[in-house]
């Protein structure tokens, strides 16, 4: 997560950082080792490529979380999604009004099976899905 945050910050602050020498101070060892990984996974590889242009000007410094409390608190205390938050995204709230649990008998499933047989669109889809099926119990008859 911290590696992705570094990539995001470098992209957002590119105009300020391009051509300047700067330090990235972090309490995350993964960020420090990101540039030197021998066999990164695909995400880490993408992030390595994204930060390559800063490699000569950027120094990643590890600072323990015990010492780095000012930044540690910022990364852990999320702001509420309210209009006062600069990153506010209006979202429609959905509340669960109630849950009803009922037993659906076999009659429902039998009717569903029968209706699939006469539905021409589902029949075509079913044939396409089952065409290469190796399990005889799943193939259409």
∠ CA(88), CA(75), CA(17), 5° rounding?
Answer: 85
Report d(CA 103, CA 126) in Å as an integer.
27
**Boundaries of every domain in the chain:** 2-76, 103-141
Question: pLDDT tens-digit profile of 113-132?
Answer: 888 878 877 777 777 777 76
Nearest to 21 by CA among 58, 51, 61, 62: 58
- Binned at pLDDT 50, 70 and 90, residue 137 comes out as low
Residues of the chain above pLDDT 70, percent? 82
The answer, as to whether pTM is greater than 0.75, is no
> 81 Cβ partners below 8 Å, 6+ apart?
88, 89, 91
Specify the DSSP element, H or E, that contains 17. Answer: helix 14-17
Q: pLDDT by residue (tens digit) across 28-73?
A: 777 777 777 788 788 888 888 888 888 888 888 888 777 766 665 5
Q: Is 50 helix (H, G, I), strand (E, B) or coil?
A: helix
Is a pLDDT exceeding 60 seen at residue 141?
no
């Amino acid at each position: 997560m911290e590696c992705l945050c570094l990539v995001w910050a470098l992209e957002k602050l590119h105009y300020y950082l391009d051509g300047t020498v700067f330090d990235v101070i972090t309490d995350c060892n993964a960020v420090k080792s990101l540039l030197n990984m021998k066999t990164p996974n695909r995400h880490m590889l993408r992030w390595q490529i994204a930060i390559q242009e800063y490699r000569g000007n950027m120094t990643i410094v590890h600072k323990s979380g015990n010492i780095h409390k000012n930044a540690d608190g910022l990364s852990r205390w999320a702001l509420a999604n309210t209009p006062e938050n600069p990153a506010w995204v209006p979202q429609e709230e959905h509340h669960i009004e109630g849950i009803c649990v009922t037993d659906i008998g076999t009659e429902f499933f039998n009717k569903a099976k029968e209706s699939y047989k006469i539905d021409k669109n589902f029949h075509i889809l079913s044939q396409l899905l089952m065409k290469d099926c190796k399990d005889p119990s799943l193939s259409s008859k």
